[in-house]
Amino acid sequence: MNKCDLLPVLIIALAHVTSALNASYWHSYPYLGVPSNGARSPCSFLNTLSNHGIIPNSGHGISFRQLYSPFHEAGLDNTTSKLLIMDALSRFGTLGSDGILRFDLTDLNTHASGANRSFAEEHDASLTRNDAFWGDAVTVQPANVNNFLSFSKDGKTMGMYEFAVGLKNARMASAVSNPTFLFNYDLAAAFDSFSHAALVLTVFGGAATNDPRVSIDVLKSFLLEERIPMNWTPSQTAVTSALVNYVASNVSITSQSLFPEGI
Ligand code: HEM
């Protein structure tokens, strides 16, 4: 075997070592749950980080530096991590006397309305929570999540199609029950919703393919309990903004085509 033959072997070995390191990062943070008077958001990912004390367990005073490492360890590339975090900080961050911007998880609970929207806002027709119209858009609703998981075709995994069906159904349910529902006129809410689906698919399903699938066990742990899934290994292929946008637009197109009226 010459030096060139050895290269692929070395690359594969290195990938396994990196994979083991990433997994040990996540599993070195035990689940702490929500402390009394802890702040939580409508975001399964940020709540999960907080529930494990990766960002403050209290849910208060979250900075760029605290978020960047877990985003990186989850497989998100530099640009995507920075865009997501800066979007939240620029909307909700308060400048401390030390010159550092911080936000609380409850800051994300502001219900989206009207213009001037961003990625980091709570909106109607979520997969995991009730609409704000019903008074609480933060508490996970197991019935909503289980309804979403029931769209899995093989009973073991979910991909872009199943996410599209789940989002379509959530929109239909809101359209018939919530008199203040405005999702169909609100492109920012729609983009946010499909982007979150794409983030879940790529972070938890992997970025090595254009058609990632996430296991139901991983989704149960993440969406229902807001816990780091035991059997999850972060993607070794970086999750790029290009991939997230590609997956988001596919989920969006599929979802719209399932519902021609455009809701
Ligand atoms: C700084 C980065 C992030 C911010 C500010 C943020 C913010 C939010 C907000 C405001 C919501 C509520 C949307 C709604 O009303 O349904 C949300 C939901 C959610 N987010 Fe995030 N998010 C971030 C990153 C992520 C990442 C990286 C993931 C996945 C890996 C993720 C997964 C989710 C999920 C699963 C939901 C629930 C969606 C639903 O119920 O339909 N988020 N996030």
Q: How confident is the model at residue 258 (pLDDT cuts 50, 70, 90)?
A: confident
Q: For residues 188 and 112, is the Cβ–Cβ distance under 8 A?
A: yes
- Candidate from 40, 41, 45 with most ligand 1 atoms within 8 A of CB, to mutate: 45
Distance in Å, CA 2 to ligand 1 centroid: 48
Distance in Å, CA 193 to ligand 1 centroid: 8
In this structure, which residue's CA is closest to atom 16 in ligand 1?
Answer: 126
* Segment 194-226, tens digit of pLDDT: 899 999 999 999 999 999 999 999 999 999 999
Residues with CB under 6 A from ligand 1: 42-46, 84-85, 88, 108, 120-123, 126-129, 196, 199-200, 203
Extract the tokens encoding 159.
């991909």
* Segment 39-65, tens digit of pLDDT: 999 999 999 999 999 999 999 999 999
Task: Please state whether beta strands 157-158 and 101-103 pair in parallel, antiparallel, or not at all (unpaired).
Answer: unpaired
With 50 as the cut, is the pLDDT of residue 147 above it? Answer: yes
Closest ligand 1 atom to 112 CA:
15
CB within 8 Å of 83: residues ≥ 6 apart: 241
Residue labelled with tokens 């209290």: 58
- pLDDT above 90 coverage of the chain, percent: 72
Distance in Å, CA 12 to ligand 1 centroid: 33
- Candidate from 122, 196, 203, 222 with most ligand 1 atoms within 8 A of CB, to mutate: 196
Global pTM value: 0.91
Distance in Å, CA 20 to ligand 1 centroid: 26
* Segment 97-137, tens digit of pLDDT: 999 999 999 999 988 765 556 666 788 999 999 999 999 99
3-257 is classed CATH 1.10.489.10: yes
With 90 as the cut, is the pLDDT of residue 261 above it? Answer: no
Distance in Å, CA 44 to ligand 1 centroid: 6
Containing H/E element for 94?
Answer: strand 94-95
- Look at 10-19, 54-63, 153-162, 226-235 and tell me which has the smallest mean pLDDT: 10-19
